[in-house]
């Protein structure tokens, strides 16, 4: 008689399956135009089990506009960390109105966890990783848990850490889709201009990648778009696109 798989064996099997599926999807559809990728994923591949995650930051309008072209009811998850710029919150509301998006899901950090881990709200001053974990990684894991896949607006040009970004990738047992992965800064600018999309007002002040206000500053000329995030630290990603989210999703799947 075969031994009953241990939980970790089962998780490994599921994750291996997701990785193989992501690689297959990338080979089949990764070359398509972004709008075609979104349409294929939303209508054929994942149906009502797919969402989008948006920061409503510097580059968010393009993906959201494309999603609205396909399905305005598609769930859009927004992480309200409690540390956003007021301009970002206003921009979120403006884009939702501009595009007629009807299914915005605001996810917040767990209040009990905040009280335990960051009671003063100053955790970012001495432990940025722990702050991102409680304000971003864990909440996003909850937000995407009901879905089999989700869209992001990440692009290869944004940072050296994203230079090899695929269109389809596995995150634990789920699939993350980056329809704009291959786009350049010119592609982004051309689309914004041709569709008369409004910018996050902070872009005019040099904020080319926008996160929480304590850890975001304007980008200097010649630097990559994410150099203003956690300036002075080795940190370049908040964790929602790294293994921290994968671990959270795996734990939730046990």
Where residue 151 sits, what CATH number does that domain have?
3.40.50.620
* Mean pLDDT for the chain overall: 86
Residue 1 lies in a domain: no
Q: Cα 95 to the chain's mean position, in Å?
A: 17
In a domain, 9, yes or no: no
Let me know if residue 7 belongs to a domain.
no
DSSP bridge partners of 151:
52, 177
Contact (CB, 8 A) for 92 and 78: yes
Whether the CB-CB separation of 170 and 22 falls below 8 Å is answered with: yes
Mean pLDDT of 3-27: 70
Please, what is the end-to-end C-alpha distance for the chain in angstroms?
A: 24
**Averaged over 8-29, what is the pLDDT?**
78
**Whether residue 246 has pLDDT greater than 80:** no
Tens-place pLDDT, residues 176-204:
999 999 999 899 999 999 999 999 999 99
pLDDT at residue 167, as a whole number: 96
Catalytic residues: 238
Residue 237 pLDDT > 70, yes or no? Answer: no
Number of domains in the chain: 1
pLDDT at position 226 is: 63
- Structural domain range at position 188: 16-253
Percent of the chain with pLDDT over 70: 81
pLDDT at 89 over 60: yes
Is residue 68 pLDDT above 80, yes or no? yes
Whether 49 is covered by a domain: the verdict is yes
Residue 174 lies in a domain: yes
Domain presence at residue 34: yes
Summarize pLDDT for 208-234 with one digit per residue, the tens.
889 898 888 888 777 766 676 655 555
More confident residue, 42 or 12: 42
pLDDT number for residue 1: 40
Residue 138 forms part of a structural domain: yes
DSSP conformational letter for 179: T
Q: Is residue 4 part of a domain?
A: no
**Mean pLDDT within 114-125:** 94
């Amino acid at each position: 008689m075969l031994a009953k798989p241990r939980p970790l064996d089962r998780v490994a099997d599921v994750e291996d399956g997701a990785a193989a599926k992501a690689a297959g999807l990338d080979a089949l559809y990764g070359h398509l135009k972004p709008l075609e990728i979104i349409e294929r994923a939303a209508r054929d591949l994942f149906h009502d089990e797919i969402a989008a995650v948006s920061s409503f930051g510097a580059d968010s309008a393009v993906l959201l506009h494309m999603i609205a072209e396909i399905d305005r009811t598609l769930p859009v998850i927004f992480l309200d960390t409690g540390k956003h710029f007021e301009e970002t919150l206003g921009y979120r509301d403006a884009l939702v109105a501009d595009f007629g998006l009807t299914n915005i899901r605001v996810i917040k950090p767990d209040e009990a966890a905040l009280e335990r881990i960051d009671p003063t709200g100053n955790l970012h001053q001495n432990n940025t990783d722990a702050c991102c974990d409680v304000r971003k990684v864990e909440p996003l894991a909850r937000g995407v848990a009901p879905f089999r896949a989700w869209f992001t607006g990440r692009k290869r040009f944004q940072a050296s850490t994203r230079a090899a970004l695929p269109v389809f990738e596995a995150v634990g047992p789920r699939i993350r889709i980056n329809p704009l992965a291959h786009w350049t800064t010119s592609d982004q600018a051309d689309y914004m201009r041709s569709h008369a999309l409004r910018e996050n007002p902070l872009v005019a002040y040099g904020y080319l990648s926008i996160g929480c206000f304590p850890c975001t500053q304007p980008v200097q000329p010649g630097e990559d778009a994410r150099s203003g995030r956690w300036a002075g630290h080795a940190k370049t990603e908040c964790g929602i696109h790294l293994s921290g989210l994968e671990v959270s999703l795996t734990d939730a799947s046990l």
